[in-house]
Every structure is written in C-alpha cells, then in structure tokens.
Amino acid sequence: MGKSNCKVISRDKDLDEVEIQRLADGLYLGDQPLEAPRLVKTGWKAGQMFELADDPDRMQSFRWEAPSFIERKDPMIQRQKTSVEELDVPKAGPTHWARIVRGVFDEEDCAELISCINRKGFTPALLNIGGGRQALEPSARNGHRAIVESLEMSRWLLEVIRPYLPETFQRGTLIDLNERCRVLCYTPGQEFPSHYDGCFRRSAPDPRAGDRSMITVQVYLHDVPAGSGGETTFMRERSGREEAALSCQPCAGSVLIFTQNLLHEGSLLKKGLKYTLRTEAMYRM
C-alpha cells in the first residue's frame, strides 16, 4: 500500500461547530450517538515550538477527573469479558509482537471517557523534539490530542489487561502503566505517517526515575467503519521501501498491545471520526 494522495486538511481552515457535529453523524457507541469532539482553538502555526514551561497541553491549568466507571467496575470482573488474538506482524517473535485484546472497555465506558475528555477539549497534536520541547509539525503528525494524568485509570486498565502483558521483557520487569494518557482524535484527512513509538522515560524527582516504556497500549474508543480508513497499520521494509503488512481496524473497547520496535502508521481517516487512548507498559531494568 502506498501513501495516499489525499490532501491533508489545513490547520488554517478550522472546522466550525456545525462541521464538527456532522463528523459524528451516523456513528454510535452502543445505542447512543457518538459525541463529537470539542476542538480548542489555539492560533498555533505550523513549525511553532513550545518549551516545557509553555504548558501547551494544559497539564498545569486543567484538573481532570477520571470517569466514574473506574470506581464502579471491578477490573477483575471486567477481565473475565476479555479475549485475545495474536497478530502476524513483521518479524513476529519473542521481541517483536502485537495482540488485540477485546472487551477491555464496555461501550458505555468508552462513551463516558470521551465525554470526560471533551471537558478538557482537544488541541493540535504536537511532536516531541527532545529536551522537553514540542513542535507543531502537521506534515509529520496531524491530528488532535488531549493529555491527562490519571493513576486511577492506568491502574484499573493494568488490572484488566495484566494477563496479556509480559511480567518480564528484554531484562525489564513490569512496573505499571504510564499514568500520562494521551487521547487522540482524528478528523477526515488526518493521519500519523509511519513511525516507531518513542520511549517514555521517567525522570527525577519521580521516585520511579529510570523506568521506561517498552510496549504500547492503544485503546480504541469506538468502531471506525472499514470504509472510513483510520486503521493502525503495521509496515514492513522491503528493498528500501515501506509497505503495509497488517491493518487493525478500530473496534470499541478493544486494546492493541505491541512492542515499540514495530514500524506502524495511523492510516488516513477518510470520513467520520477516530478516538483512541494511548499509554504504555513501563518496565524497570
């Protein structure tokens, strides 16, 4: 599969409220309409850079509360609803693997989580460029993002999916899931070109300094119809070129778990919406 020639929507042409609402038309979570995203207007320009102190992700200025199902639902009971499928990704083996775990979230829980995130709202997804700095680079990463820190949610999620994560991996011991949860929202024309997920490392003064991510945990928050695009596509490199090897279509409440040494892309969303949540399994060497 080659790269699409579909023109990426320009950030200079913000969607108005009516257009945003229309993106959710015909999409449902259970028997309820899918909630449209709240896109926060920022005035940012392509190439703009941000220092840590700029707090572009509003981590200091917004207090987020986790959805109520985290307290209401026992993760051990939720675990009993899950099933797993191993995926035939390139170089599959002990150090390169991916699996889909189904039934991790109920559809009503996905809907509540989206609603909770919308209270904060989405801003354009930034690209980490090192040294705590980020940049708006739509050609490298195009989408919307809301970041929240939630120990409650990461702990609940870990207990549901723990059987599907290795307790030890490449000489590291599983500690927890990263509490920094990134909820992503894609609108038509947006994609995340092929990449390897970056390693998240905890730093001082966090007492867990040195822990590092090794496995990505990506939660799909609603169904994306097959004709709408938006797959997570694993790539293979052949004769100096990248080509699609395996695609995973988002399905509500499922979690895609994969090692961070796998090349993949967030494929072009052709219509509708795509909501996902990303965190990582953290290991101590």
Q: Can you give the residue ranges of every domain in the chain?
A: 17-284
pTM of the shown model: 0.93
**Looking at residue 9, what is its pLDDT?**
37
**Looking at residue 15, what is its pLDDT?**
84
Query: Over 80: is that where the pLDDT of 40 sits?
Result: yes
Between CA 206 and CA 217, with CA 211 as vertex, the angle to 5 degrees is 110
Q: What is the mean pLDDT of residues 150-163?
A: 98
Residue whose C-alpha is closest to residue 219's, from 95, 67, 89, 93: 67
Q: Which CATH code of 1.20.1280.50, 2.60.120.10, 3.90.180.10, 2.60.120.620 fits the domain covering 17-284? A: 2.60.120.620
Look at the chain and count its residues: 285
**Residue 108 corresponds to which tokens in the numbers above?**
């009503």
- Non-local (6+) Cβ contacts of 173 within 8 A are 167, 283, 284
Residue whose C-alpha is closest to residue 42's, from 65, 22, 58: 58
Q: What is the pLDDT of residues 189-246, one digit of tens each?
A: 999 999 999 999 999 999 999 999 999 999 999 999 999 999 999 999 988 899 999 9
Distance CA 136, CA 141 (A): 8
Percentage of the chain beyond pLDDT 70 is 95
**Looking at residue 152, what is its pLDDT?**
97
